[in-house]
Amino acid sequence: MNDAPSPPARVVSALRRRLLAWYGRHARDLPWRGSRDPYAIWVSEIMLQQTRIDQGTPYFERFMAAFPTVFDLAAAPEDRVLKLWEGLGYYARARNLHRAAKGIAGERAGRFPDTAAGWRKVPGVGRYTAGAIASIAFGERAAVLDGNVIRVLTRLFDIRACADDAATRRDLWGLAERLVPVKRPGDFNQAMMELGACVCTPKAPQCAACPARALCRAHALGVEAERPVRRAKAAVPHQEAVAAAIRKNGRYLLGKRPGGGLLGGLWELPGGTVGPGESHAGALERILRDELGMAVRVGGLVASIDHAYSHFTVTVHVYRCAHMGGTPSPKTHTELRWTLPGEFGRFAFPKANLKVLPLL
């Protein structure tokens, strides 16, 4: 990162002082702040990965009410954990959180790691999350680097190298580590994240309200909107999928997805991807025959649901189907269940299914 020299000590000192003073006055009142409880901080950090604070806050409050301690979370059935996570997405976060809670409650008798290095060994915890928990809960001088902090750093120091390159990312970590103070490292890290979330925003940054404006090279040069430099995004692929609302004696057939992979552990209406040249009805008949061992008659369309994941988009076409023969057996699912519509609320579903279930 040749265009971002190490900042002099006076700049580092001024930045720390200004950000901590600003954070003391302007920090948002969030339910996990003001606490050094590592459990609450851990849950909040995992929940806010890939999730906006306004979306994640009510989930955090419900989750903590249901599982107020790591022992409560460890003892809970996975289905209940996923149900409370339902709609938040990136369900591997919930499964890893649950698995890690079992390890902390059992193998460690409820004792949490107290260093970033220790947290890196916890399932689902990477370098950023480890630094956030260790600095906020235990006062360790550990850095954080997420999208907000990257944006703040590349603007403050006018970093022109692509922020997506591995070498630039390593240098940004080194810069973040240099800036963290020995005293109040957790507050400083939260101030950096808060600044990026509320002031140094991706579009239309509020430079007039920024406590670090006088230190910001990108602002002085008028190039805030050009930082950070990112790679051009590749086109997002699109898939066509079908799902079957198979009704028998007033019940619908649901399948539980395997624990690993996309949407692991969630329940769904059975279905799959439409192959090249296939009709929707033909695809459904093939999928249900091959994956469930049953024959159906495909009826009317219930709905077509558009949904976006991190790496692709999908349109799911849901059809009413009549069971024509064969006893369904799980091949791609871990479990199948005939379920009354009034019982749907007991299961955790992907968002695309949640949009169509009320129509049944």
pLDDT tens by residue, 309-325: 888 999 999 999 999 98
Which pLDDT does position 5 carry in this prediction?
55
User: Of 47, 18, 22, 21, which is closest to residue 32 (Cα–Cα)?
Assistant: 47
Read off the pLDDT of each residue in 179-196 and give the average, rounded to a whole number: 98
CB 257 within 8 A of CB 265: yes
Read off the pLDDT of each residue in 133-137 and give the average, rounded to a whole number: 98
Read off the pLDDT of each residue in 330-343 and give the average, rounded to a whole number: 95
**Domain 9-226, CATH:** 1.10.340.30
User: Of 124, 82, 99, which is closest to residue 264 (Cα–Cα)?
Assistant: 82
Instruction: Look up the pTM and report it.
Output: 0.91
CB 325 within 8 A of CB 295: yes
Read off the pLDDT of each residue in 177-205 and give the average, rounded to a whole number: 97
Predicted confidence (pLDDT) at residue 250 exceeds the cutoff of 90: yes
Q: Which helix (H) or strand (E) holds 285?
A: helix 280-292
Read off the pLDDT of each residue in 142-152 and give the average, rounded to a whole number: 98
The domain defined by 238-359 folds into Nucleoside Triphosphate Pyrophosphohydrolase (3.90.79)
Predicted confidence (pLDDT) at residue 4 exceeds the cutoff of 70: no
Which pLDDT does position 262 carry in this prediction?
87
Which pLDDT does position 6 carry in this prediction?
86
Burial of 218 by CB count in 10 Å (0-12 exposed, 13-18 middle, 19+ buried)?
A: buried
Which pLDDT does position 290 carry in this prediction?
94
Which pLDDT does position 346 carry in this prediction?
95
192 CB neighbour count, 10 Å cutoff: 28
Per-residue model confidence as pLDDT tens digits over 66-113: 999 999 999 999 999 999 999 999 999 999 999 999 999 999 999 999
Which pLDDT does position 3 carry in this prediction?
47
Query: What spatial distance separates the first Cα and last Cα of the chain, rounded to whole Å?
Result: 56
Rounded to an integer, what distance in angstroms lies between the CA atom of residue 11 and that of residue 178?
Answer: 11
Asked if 45 is an active-site residue, the reply is yes
Predicted confidence (pLDDT) at residue 1 exceeds the cutoff of 50: no
Contacts of 310 (CB under 8 A, 6+ apart): 50, 90
Q: Which helix (H) or strand (E) holds 188?
A: helix 185-198
Instruction: Give the chain's mean pLDDT.
Output: 95
- For the four alpha carbons of 215, 218, 222 and 227, in that order, the dihedral sign comes to negative
Which pLDDT does position 185 carry in this prediction?
98
CA angle 312, 313, 317 (to 5 degrees): 140
Predicted confidence (pLDDT) at residue 353 exceeds the cutoff of 90: yes
Read off the pLDDT of each residue in 179-195 and give the average, rounded to a whole number: 98
Contacts of 181 (CB under 8 A, 6+ apart): 16, 20, 141, 188
Rounded to an integer, what distance in angstroms lies between the CA atom of residue 341 and that of residue 135?
Answer: 47
Every domain of the chain with CATH number 1.10.340.30 lies at 9-226
Every domain of the chain with CATH number 3.90.79.10 lies at 238-359
Contacts of 44 (CB under 8 A, 6+ apart): 30, 31, 32, 56, 60
